[in-house]
């Protein structure tokens, strides 16, 4: 096989690989923003319940409450649930926090009553 034929064969194989790769990528496309093409009226209809709710509460708590934003004597910046990541806390040490996590004041009924008393219209525990 001469050099020209070898180059042509390599080019043909690369073309096949590229076409197959592109075809597979087309099948596995992650859709973008599903609301990117919605009209103003469609958005207003979708957002109506947010406007009606006016004030809501999202209750988020867990093991990260034990270190309370501090690790190894240092305050860790950022939101609490990211303390393991941002503080670079090893899994073995973080597991010790899990052993200490004891939500003795866990009272979901009270957690619902309190925002209702504050006229909260949506609650996502």
Per-residue pLDDT of 21-38, as tens digits, reads 655 555 544 467 888 888
* pLDDT above 80 for 59: no
* pLDDT above 90 for 95: yes
Query: Is 26 a domain residue?
Result: yes
pTM: 0.46
Query: Is 97 a domain residue?
Result: no
Query: Is 117 a domain residue?
Result: no
Query: Is 58 a domain residue?
Result: no
Query: Is 23 a domain residue?
Result: yes
Please answer whether residues 102 and 112 qualify as being in contact, where contact means their C-beta atoms are separated by less than 8 angstroms: no
What is the Cα–Cα distance from 125 to 119, expressed in whole angstroms? Answer: 16
For the chain, the domain total comes to: 1
What is the Cα–Cα distance from 99 to 73, expressed in whole angstroms? Answer: 20
What is the Cα–Cα distance from 46 to 41, expressed in whole angstroms? Answer: 9
Query: Is 6 a domain residue?
Result: yes
Q: 37 by DSSP, 3-state: which?
A: coil
How far are the Cα atoms of 60, 84, 95 from residue 92, in angstroms, in the given order?
Answer: 23, 11, 5
Query: Is 100 a domain residue?
Result: no
Q: Which domain holds residue 19?
A: 1-31
Query: Is 90 a domain residue?
Result: no
Residue 20 pLDDT class (50, 70, 90 cuts): low
């Amino acid at each position: 096989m001469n050099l020209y034929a070898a180059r042509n064969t390599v080019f043909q194989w690369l073309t096949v690989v590229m076409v197959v790769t592109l075809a597979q990528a087309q099948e596995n496309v992650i859709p973008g923003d599903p609301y990117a093409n919605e009209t103003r009226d469609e958005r207003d209809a979708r957002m109506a319940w947010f406007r009606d709710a006016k004030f809501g509460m999202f209750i988020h708590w867990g093991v990260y409450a034990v270190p309370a934003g501090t690790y190894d004597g240092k305050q860790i910046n950022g939101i609490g649930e990211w303390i393991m990541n941002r503080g670079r806390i090893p899994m073995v040490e973080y597991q010790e926090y899990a052993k200490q996590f004891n939500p003795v004041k866990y009272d979901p009924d009270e957690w619902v009553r309190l925002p209702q008393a504050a006229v909260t219209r949506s609650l996502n525990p």
